[in-house]
């Protein structure tokens, strides 16, 4: 299927040493892309690269902190110096911090907004500065059900993910004429380390299963197909969209 084929493309996936990011990287690699794994810890990245390389995939690692402006710029300068063109950027890096707003410190609010939202702008800008002159590029941002709906105790995450939806549209508005497509994926409740505490809570687990038409949590690898679609020529006239891969949760009461 050449429409979904990613051979010859290089994809940078932020926050990909584990969790959803790693699953996205594996999916894009299986579709033929060379992947650049990113995270803050070089040892963790090297470990994450092992199974992908063992499976025959072309994998690079780039350790940098997406919240560190100078480090992001330096990383892209290194890509330039090494002749690495990023054709696909998947802005996945994110954190969660659960606390009622009455008890929430501004520093924690800012940390969550910076990691989940501002970093997507920051890394997206650096990628797009190279994509625009080339006249092509794919940017995939990671939203959430909280891009649409609030949940108590996760206000900064909700605000950041709502922002991701509009950042995606802003990217489409400014960069669409340069052959760039910016879209987002909105995962439902997925089995990841980030959600460990929620999965272990019998009440929350029951709520997710009753609210989700699929009646179960999602597995990280179930998001890969949507990422491949948005990274490939199959989506060349799709721009500014957020696609929910959520077992149907956002569509029902």
Catalytic residues: 157
Give 61's strand partners.
37
Which one of the spans 27-35, 46-54, 81-89, 144-152 is the region binding ligand GCO (CB under 6 A)? 144-152
19 Ramachandran zone, left/alpha/beta (phi>0; psi -120 to 50): left
Which one of the spans 35-43, 125-133, 139-147, 165-173 is the region binding ligand GCO (CB under 6 A)? 139-147
Which one of the spans 70-78, 127-135, 172-180, 194-202 is the region binding ligand GCO (CB under 6 A)? 194-202
Out of 10, 61, 146, 168, the only residue in the binding site for ligand GCO (CB under 6 A) is 146
Report d(CA 179, CA 167) in Å as an integer: 17
| Count, residues near ligand GCO per rule CB under 6 A | 13
Burial class of 58 by CB neighbour count within 10 A (0 to 12, 13 to 18, 19+): middle
Closest C-alpha to 183, from 224, 244, 126: 244
Residues, the chain, total? 253
Asked if 15 interacts with ligand GCO (CB under 6 A), we say: no
- The CA angle 230-234-237, to the nearest 5 degrees, is 80
Out of 16, 61, 92, 144, the only residue in the binding site for ligand GCO (CB under 6 A) is 144
Asked if 95 interacts with ligand GCO (CB under 6 A), we say: no
Binding site for ligand GCO (CB under 6 A): 96, 98, 144-146, 151, 154, 187-189, 194-195, 198
């Amino acid at each position: 299927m050449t429409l979904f084929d990613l051979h010859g493309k290089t994809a940078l996936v932020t926050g990909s040493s584990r969790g959803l990011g790693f699953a996205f990287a594996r999916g894009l690699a299986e579709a033929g892309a060379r992947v650049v794994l990113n995270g803050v810890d070089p040892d963790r990245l090297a470990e994450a690269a092992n199974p992908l390389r063992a499976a025959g995939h072309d994998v690079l690692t780039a350790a940098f902190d997406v919240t560190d402006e100078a480090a992001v710029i330096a990383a892209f300068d290194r890509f330039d110096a090494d002749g690495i063109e990023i054709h696909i950027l998947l802005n996945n890096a994110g954190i969660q911090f659960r606390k009622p707003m009455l008890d929430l410190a501004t520093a924690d609010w800012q940390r969550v907004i910076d990691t989940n939202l501002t970093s997507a702008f920051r890394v997206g800008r650096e990628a797009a500065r190279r994509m625009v002159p080339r006249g092509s590029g794919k940017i995939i941002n990671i939203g959430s059900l909280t891009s649409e709906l609030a949940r108590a105790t996760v206000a900064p995450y909700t605000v950041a993910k709502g922002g991701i939806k509009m950042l995606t549209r802003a990217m489409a508005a400014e960069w669409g004429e340069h052959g760039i497509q910016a879209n987002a994926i909105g995962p439902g409740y997925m089995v990841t380390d980030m959600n460990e505490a929620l999965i272990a809570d019998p009440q929350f687990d029951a709520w997710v299963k009753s609210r989700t038409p699929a009646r179960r949590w999602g597995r990280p690898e179930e998001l890969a197909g949507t990422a491949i679609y948005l990274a490939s020529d199959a989506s060349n006239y799709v721009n500014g969209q957020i696609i929910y891969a959520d077992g149907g949760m956002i569509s029902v009461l």
